[in-house]
Structure 1
Amino acid sequence: MQLPSVLNTEHLLFAGSILLIVAVLASQLSAKWGVPALLIFLGIGVLAGSDGIGGIPFEDAKLAQGLGILALVLILFSGGLNTDWRSIVPVIRPGLILATGGVLLSTFLVGIFAYLVCGIGLLDGFLLGAMISSTDAAAVFAVLRSRGVPLRPELASLIEFESGSNDPMAVFLTNALIGLQFAVGASFAGSLLSLIPSFFIQMIVGSLCGWGAGHLIVFLLRRFPLAIEELYPTLSVGLALLTYAGVTLINGNGFLAVYLAGIVVGNHSFEQRRQLMSWHEYLAWFMQIVMFLTLGLLVFPSEMPPLIGQAIVLSAFLMFVSRPASVFACLPTKRFTTNEKIMVSWGGLRGAVPIIMATYAKVEGLPIADYLLHAIFFIVVTSVLLQGTTLSFMAQWLQIAQPQRQPLPPTPTSLLAGETSLTPPREDDEDEVVIT
């Protein structure tokens, strides 16, 4: 039975509660069949939307974008909390190169291909490339961990660090290219030249402020104990959101800042550390389910048939050309074997972040916005179906898997980019790792 076109509070609560319950129950299929949960959540959202059996009318791209940003901020912060600084130090350099240079190269290759093959404008092609350049390696973790096929620590840490740090670059390129869409004549050249200093300013400000915010959060948690202990999670959420919003308002990269802040906080010891880490993982579950369901509602499958051919071609190019080219160009041969590079390439799943990026174009009213949204949605689904279900096979086939005695269960944050680890949990959970 379809819902009425005008929804009151009770209708919204009824529909929302049903979707949440169905999503949670359906998530069991992820562990059983090895299908990334994000695909299940997106599918439920599509089925519940205007084109589906649920008939829920939803076309508010602004709301979807806002929920997506909120979810990403909290999930990135949770991912930082659960990141062991000692595990990522050895891979910081190749990880940063892959998260920046790799994203830029992939954006360029996809843009040229879309322009030549799909017949869209060159700037539109680059915008499409930027939106789908961010990987969702957490889907890799969910599959590999559930099947007990961990990778060697350095390779696992690289995938983790890249997935947590390539979102800022994708967001920067997306916003920059949307801005160029409105620039004409001499202002276009000026806007294009301003991208280089703007990039460095955003990344430097985001890094410094994220580092500083992390230490400030630790200081507040240590020096100002709360009379009501149950309010610590609320305080940490407020500080994480303040970090993102504050850094963004001063033209820094808020996503990078909140991720780094989470890393700093998670690698210092304080009394409430374990409780906060656990609570933020639970919150991450809720936020990512809400985000995926909302993005699914925003998509109209009836508009996809004309784009399916191009979307398949674009998805194949992304999986077999642009992603491998980026990985092989950015990773040093001496530290990573050819098979390991192939695994990193194949593990470049696309998830919710590219769909969120597509809402940016829709909010700005770009003529190509609907094309981008539905093409990207199809690319994401194709990537998850093909790559997500064959990751364990690829690890075994490439002979780089290191099976252990008992499979590690996926953590609550193993649904979104870079929010968990393929390495065993830290035994010295109370030890402090000083980050300077």
Structure 2
Amino acid sequence: MENPQNLAFVLALACLIAAASVAAKRLQLASPIVLLLAGAAVGFVPGLPRVPLDPDVALMILLPPILYGSGVGMSWRGFRANLRPILLLAVGCVLFTTTAVAVVVHYAVGLPWAVAFVLGAIVSPPDAVAPMAMLRALRLPRRLILALEGESLVNDATALVTFSFALAAVVSGSFSAATAALQFTAIASSEILFGLAIGWATLWVRRLADDPRAEVLLALVTPFAAFWPPHLLGGSGVVACVTAGLWVSWNGRHLIRPATRLQGYFIWDLVTWGVEALTFVLTGLQAHSVVEGLAGEGWQRPLMAAALVCVTVIAVRFVWVFPATYVPHMLSRALRRREQAPNWRSPFLLSFVGLRGVVSLAAALSIPFMVGDRAFPDRDLILFVTFCVIAFTLLGLGGTLPGVVRGLGLGRDGLAEAEDNKRAELAARLAGIDAVLAGLDRAASEGAPKTSVAALRRRHNDRRRHLGVSADERTDEDPVADTSILELKLVDIEREAIDGAYTEGRLTDEARRRIEREFDLEEARIRHAAASAAPAVDELAVSDEGEKETSTQSP
């Protein structure tokens, strides 16, 4: 395509993403499903150019910000506390799935062992984007969310390293399990150290920069700085990128300035939303190319392989998750004393949430066309099976996920936990206001202006009284919500007055923009305060009306 056509396609793609996202919200459907279907539908439109997904674009452009953003949004304390189930899923389950798929396609489809392991490694990692994009809207127990988030941070590294080993075995014709294990350990440990170094260095460089715009720009560069060097040197880059995100998540609260945080929230939210949406649309656009690749062959073998692999990846996860959940409790008395084994509903959902995504597709597309002087065995078959697994898990499992959560009753458990967390949050907020009031008493004794101290004391006493009533479960009163509704109406009234003054020529453009920014910040503050003080059952509904935050920590 020529440059004007490229530009037109980019603009059309942006419009498609916006339209599909709005449609998903209006129809109350998971946006990844709508985006995937929209991309597939456009891909089959006659006359439109094909849009091949370059694996380097997927792995080196789309994946780093997704992984880094997930690392920043992940609780380091939660990750550390749930390290055992996370590693059992992200390493153990991925390797188990790889082996099971390889065995099935070797004996049932006739793929050579090395090629079978290539396919197994490709389809083994659950996606880092799709499940969390769907689960954000569902009220689930925190530990379940932490396990799924932690798995999604690490499993891509296990799968991509295993894939590289299997690919090397196809090329060389030999494989050593001991050598592969040593290489895997070396890659993981070196990437952890590199990710820590990148996270530490970028945070301090941003601190020294002392410029919010420059700091946000450095934050956008960080995932690529962490991912690219290890990936280009033969590693995965995933572990380094995730480690850098976790480091920033834990240490950023001390080193990132408030002005940078405010800008970072909005910019990073737009970047991650755009990258995630683009990922699903581009995946859907590959459907036509994948089908064309098998047009000259019979369909019986590819369809049988796709059906077998889909069943295998789903069944194997159930086979792995339940023993991995209960066997450690059976073997360890210390673990039984420390925590109670979960009931069957949590491991069932962990087993069910095995959606595949862009990493699998990018790995499949990166398979070389030739091995020496011969074509790579069954490359088109691997591509077709990979796309079928992605589509089946995303549409089949993802489409029924909300119903499964409701059927298991996990939403009720999550709501009860959320209510406990909300009570603890309100208690912490009240303690914070008490500390402020004590600070005002000290300031008054040290000679601070009496008028200022009195005004601030009235303001914070009002805040404490309102929050105290909201925290009191014996009353249905919610003064914070009532006050917020009234404040928003007053902001609108003041906006209209200022707009009238500007229309009449009594305000300059600069003054109007300055006042408008103050109104915007005030409205965002009011909506955020209302969402923070709202009961757990109403929290999501309130926050949806204002700015939606996808992370508690700015990158």
TM-score by length of 1: 0.83
Cα offset, 1:94, TM superposition: 1.5
- Structure-1 residue corresponding to 2:202: 217
- Structure-2 residue corresponding to 1:183: 172
Distance 1:30 1:133, change over 3 A: farther
- Structure-1 residue corresponding to 2:310: 315
Q: Please tell me whether the aligned partners of residues 244 and 255 of structure 1 are also in contact (alpha carbons under 8 angstroms).
A: yes
Pair 1:150-2:139 in alignment: yes
Q: Please tell me whether the aligned partners of residues 73 and 249 of structure 2 are also in contact (alpha carbons under 8 angstroms).
A: yes
- Structure-2 residue corresponding to 1:127: 118
Cα offset, 1:202, TM superposition: 0.7
Q: Please tell me whether the aligned partners of residues 154 and 239 of structure 2 are also in contact (alpha carbons under 8 angstroms).
A: yes
Give the secondary structure class of the aligned counterpart of 1:367.
coil
Structure 1 residue corresponding to 2:239, chosen from 250, 256, 263: 256
- Structure-2 residue corresponding to 1:378: 388
Structure 2 residue corresponding to 1:230, chosen from 213, 216, 219: 213
- Structure-2 residue corresponding to 1:293: 281
- Structure-2 residue corresponding to 1:346: 352
Cα offset, 1:257, TM superposition: 0.6
- Structure-1 residue corresponding to 2:489: none
Query: 1:216 and 1:230 mapped to 2: Cα distance?
Result: 18
Equivalent AA in structure 2 for residue 343 of structure 1: L
Cα offset, 1:342, TM superposition: 0.8
Q: Please tell me whether the aligned partners of residues 48 and 56 of structure 1 are also in contact (alpha carbons under 8 angstroms).
A: no
Query: 1:397 and 1:117 mapped to 2: Cα distance?
Result: 35
Pair 1:159-2:169 in alignment: no
Distance 1:350 1:335, change over 3 A: same
| Aligned structure 1 segments of 4 or more residues deviating by more than 6 angstroms | none
277-286 or 90-99, larger mean C-alpha shift: 277-286
66-75 or 248-257, larger mean C-alpha shift: 248-257
Matched residues, number: 400
- Structure-2 residue corresponding to 1:53: 46
Structure 2 residue corresponding to 1:399, chosen from 409, 417, 428: 409
Cα offset, 1:251, TM superposition: 4.7
Query: 1:145 and 1:207 mapped to 2: Cα distance?
Result: 28
Cα offset, 1:351, TM superposition: 1.6
Distance 1:70 1:218, change over 3 A: same
Larger of the two Rg values belongs to structure = 2
Structure 2 residue corresponding to 1:246, chosen from 229, 245, 261: 229
Distance 1:288 1:369, change over 3 A: farther
Equivalent AA in structure 2 for residue 222 of structure 1: R
Query: 1:35 and 1:197 mapped to 2: Cα distance?
Result: 45
Pair 1:95-2:86 in alignment: yes
Pair 1:368-2:378 in alignment: yes
Give the secondary structure class of the aligned counterpart of 1:288.
helix
Query: 2:61 and 2:121 mapped to 1: Cα distance?
Result: 21
Query: 1:340 and 1:331 mapped to 2: Cα distance?
Result: 9
Q: Please tell me whether the aligned partners of residues 39 and 381 of structure 1 are also in contact (alpha carbons under 8 angstroms).
A: no
Distance 1:326 1:398, change over 3 A: same
Identity %: 21
Distance 1:198 1:350, change over 3 A: same
Distance 1:145 1:240, change over 3 A: closer
Alignment deviations for residues 19-56 of structure 1 (CA, whole Å, 9 cap, x no partner): 2211221123433455443333333333333x433521
Q: Please tell me whether the aligned partners of residues 58 and 359 of structure 2 are also in contact (alpha carbons under 8 angstroms).
A: no
Query: 1:298 and 1:144 mapped to 2: Cα distance?
Result: 26
- Structure-2 residue corresponding to 1:388: 398
Q: Please tell me whether the aligned partners of residues 69 and 272 of structure 2 are also in contact (alpha carbons under 8 angstroms).
A: yes
Alignment deviations for residues 224-248 of structure 1 (CA, whole Å, 9 cap, x no partner): 324xx42333222323212212233
126-135 or 64-73, larger mean C-alpha shift: 64-73
Q: 1 or 2, which has the higher helix percentage?
A: 2
Cα offset, 1:180, TM superposition: 0.8
Distance 1:56 1:68, change over 3 A: farther
Q: Please tell me whether the aligned partners of residues 106 and 113 of structure 2 are also in contact (alpha carbons under 8 angstroms).
A: yes
Query: 2:233 and 2:116 mapped to 1: Cα distance?
Result: 29
Give the secondary structure class of the aligned counterpart of 2:263.
helix
195-204 or 305-314, larger mean C-alpha shift: 305-314
- Structure-2 residue corresponding to 1:415: none
Alignment deviations for residues 326-371 of structure 1 (CA, whole Å, 9 cap, x no partner): 2124334553332211110001111222111111214666332221
Distance 1:58 1:92, change over 3 A: same
Where structure 1 has 5 or more consecutive residues not aligned to the other structure, the ranges are 1-6, 413-419
Cα offset, 1:199, TM superposition: 0.2
Cα offset, 1:107, TM superposition: 0.7
Equivalent AA in structure 2 for residue 18 of structure 1: A
Alignment deviations for residues 271-305 of structure 1 (CA, whole Å, 9 cap, x no partner): 12343243222112222333333343344234375
Equivalent AA in structure 2 for residue 90 of structure 1: A
Distance 1:243 1:373, change over 3 A: same
Cα offset, 1:209, TM superposition: 1.3
Query: 1:230 and 1:341 mapped to 2: Cα distance?
Result: 44
Cα offset, 1:167, TM superposition: 0.8
Q: Please tell me whether the aligned partners of residues 17 and 278 of structure 2 are also in contact (alpha carbons under 8 angstroms).
A: no
Structure 1 residue corresponding to 2:22, chosen from 9, 28, 38: 28
- Structure-2 residue corresponding to 1:77: 68
Equivalent AA in structure 1 for residue 385 of structure 2: A
Equivalent AA in structure 2 for residue 97 of structure 1: L
TM-score by length of 2: 0.66
